[in-house]
Structure 1
Amino acid sequence: MKAVLLLSLALCGGAAQAADIVLKDDTGATLRLPAPARRIVSLAPHVTENLFAAGAGGQVVGTVDYSDYPEAAKKIARVGGYSRLDLEAVAALRPDLIIAWESGNAPGHVAKLRSLGIPVFISQPNRIEDVAEQLEKFGQLAGTSAVANGAAARFRARLAEIRKQYSGQPRVPTFYQIWKQPLMSVGRQQIISDVISLCGGSNVFGQVEQMAPKVSEEAVLAANPEAIIASGMGDSRPEWLDDWKRWKQITAVARDNLFFVPPELIQRHTPRILEGAARLCEHLETARHRRPAR
């Protein structure tokens, strides 16, 4: 009887140990959870969207401003903005997991939350392929892998279709403009630069290490992009995109290759980035068709 009891206890202990969730986040830090998270606070809009896509939207109890997709995300309690968190509001939600954004959240805020004993997973998907991996990891963290793995598989399949369609196309030198004042673009490590490459473009500021470097008009003129693509802040084409028309010597202006992609489709590291990629690819294909006949 004693041997049976000891065996039972050993099996229970082994089961508990097996239930532990152990994952490395995007900084390489190891996170351990004793069980799937049931109360998650998301500290970035893309994290919130990916949690819903991974089937864990119902477990998100707090998030930040601009977490507006899907519709259900708008009803979640706010804990400030991603760069100006209300740490007391975060703690008051009693989360068993916080998912933060490395390049968006202040390191001091993340350190403070960790000091409270709250597990923190850091997200930083810099390549398109990373989105699928994020979905899978979020599914593991939340215990929703069945949904998350399906979403990741669909993402990879669609990505493969786009890559097949545009691989081998002639390169299009591209300037991606995030904002006008200050004039900002995307550097090598930004996911939008990866989208440009997927579409057969070459980011004219792709050698810059900064995520969102400030650039000058003179630098854009010197780069002479064949296409200029802007995002802005909303669903409408920003008026300042047409400000480039005064520079007739830029190839993109001369050929009317001034294009717009809605920011929510391309500036968030979520499954919807493939919608943005498809639009950007179509714009670069238009630019190819506008090349003079040889």
Structure 2
Amino acid sequence: MRRALLPLCLLLALFSCNPNEKSTEKGIIILKDDLGRTLTLKRKPERVLPLATSMTEMLYAVCDTASIVGRTPNCDYPATVLSKPVVNNYPVDYEAILRLKPDLVFTTEGITPLEVAVRLEELGIPVYYQKYGSVEDVFRGLEDIGKIMNRSQQAKYLTDSLRQQVTKIKERHAGTTKLQTVLAITWKDPIYVYGQNTIFTDKLKILGSQNVVKQVYDQPYPALTRESILQLDPDIFIGGTPEELEKEFFTMYPELRKIKAYRTKRMYDPTGNLMERPGPRVVESLLELEKFLYP
């Protein structure tokens, strides 16, 4: 009787480890990614390829680096990634990807068009999407990679440490009563900003502040008019040094010199890779933003 129960117990254990992963009797693995797409893998992936800079950092934080077979032209962290073969992702170089023979391609929502994923899957290469709306989503994403790549212990060790650091940061600002408002731009002409439905908003909440853009737009990085920015009147402006912004932004839009952030000289230049990439360095990004908010 005990022998008969053993396979059932092993099967239950497998399903409990990762509810988004199933394994069949023939060893075929069925995954469900963050977009709800179903992927079929012939075996556990041993060769993986990122098609987004943030995903490269995620994979390097969890995987055996020998399993990462390439990088995009913009992947520059960690430094060891520079030794990997380069695969163009805009436009996608399908032939280069085929030469690298990845078992699975990892990317993020909004970076790789779905039609690219469909084409790669027609060529026999499944594509796994992750998406992040909060800092916790990044940690979950790291753990999901760990489960897929048989590196759950390494991923959990990392996310436990990162969560502890985030908890300490939250505690430092738990008693904040007056929330500072922040506007962060991603482009100057036209003016594109970090919208409400971005991980940036969650970072500000952790830091006891708030995104001045409260309306939820269809796009996570909406374009705002100068009139809208004047009405929002942010306490803090993120997008460059005061000197750069004076020359490249406020000279172009002189009426925006009326906003509070300009008048009080609360303008800051974030480290692009930390600000733009959701990944294992998210705590570093929080600490940098904390310095801007509480100088």
Whether 2:193 is the aligned partner of 1:189: answer: no
- What is residue 230 of structure 2 aligned with on the other side? 221
Pairing partner for 1:95 from 81, 102, 123: 102
- What is residue 245 of structure 2 aligned with on the other side? 241
Secondary structure of 2:60's aligned partner? helix
Q: Using the alignment, how far apart are the partners of 1:238 and 1:39 within structure 2?
A: 45
CA contact (8 A) 1:193 1:206 kept: no
The alpha-carbon distance between structure 1 residues 244 and 168, as it changes in their structure 2 partners (threshold 3 A), is: farther
Shift of 1:260: 1.8
CA contact (8 A) 1:26 1:124 kept: yes
Q: Using the alignment, how far apart are the partners of 2:58 and 2:72 within structure 1?
A: 14
- What is residue 29 of structure 1 aligned with on the other side? 37
**What is the TM-score when the length of structure 1 is the normalising length?**
0.83
Q: Using the alignment, how far apart are the partners of 2:190 and 2:87 within structure 1?
A: 28
Secondary structure of 2:294's aligned partner? helix
Whether 2:60 is the aligned partner of 1:52: answer: yes
Pairing partner for 1:135 from 142, 148, 155: 142
Cα RMSD (Å) = 2.5
Shift of 1:282: 2.4
Pairing partner for 1:255 from 264, 267, 272: 264
Secondary structure of 1:137's aligned partner? helix
CA contact (8 A) 1:128 1:194 kept: yes
Identity of aligned residues (%): 28
Pairing partner for 1:285 from 266, 287, 294: 294
Shift of 1:58: 2.0
Aligned residue type for 2:63: G
Shift of 1:23: 4.0
Shift of 1:270: 0.8
Shift of 1:211: 1.4
Q: Using the alignment, how far apart are the partners of 2:133 and 2:243 within structure 1?
A: 29
Aligned residue type for 2:236: A
Shift of 1:197: 2.1
Pairwise mapping of residues 190-205 of structure 1 onto structure 2 (< 5 A)? Answer: 190-205=198-213
Whether 2:215 is the aligned partner of 1:211: answer: no
Secondary structure of 1:125's aligned partner? coil
Shift of 1:32: 4.6
Deviations 1:198-252 (CA, angstroms, capped at 9, x unpaired): 2122212232321111222222111100111126xxxxx4853234485442111
Aligned residue type for 1:140: K
Whether 2:173 is the aligned partner of 1:166: answer: yes
Aligned residue pairs: how many?
271
Aligned residue type for 2:269: F
Aligned residue type for 1:155: L
Shift of 1:149: 1.4
Pairing partner for 1:154 from 161, 167, 180: 161
Secondary structure of 2:187's aligned partner? coil
The alpha-carbon distance between structure 1 residues 60 and 29, as it changes in their structure 2 partners (threshold 3 A), is: same
Where does the alignment leave 5 or more consecutive residues of structure 1 unmatched? 1-6, 232-236, 287-294
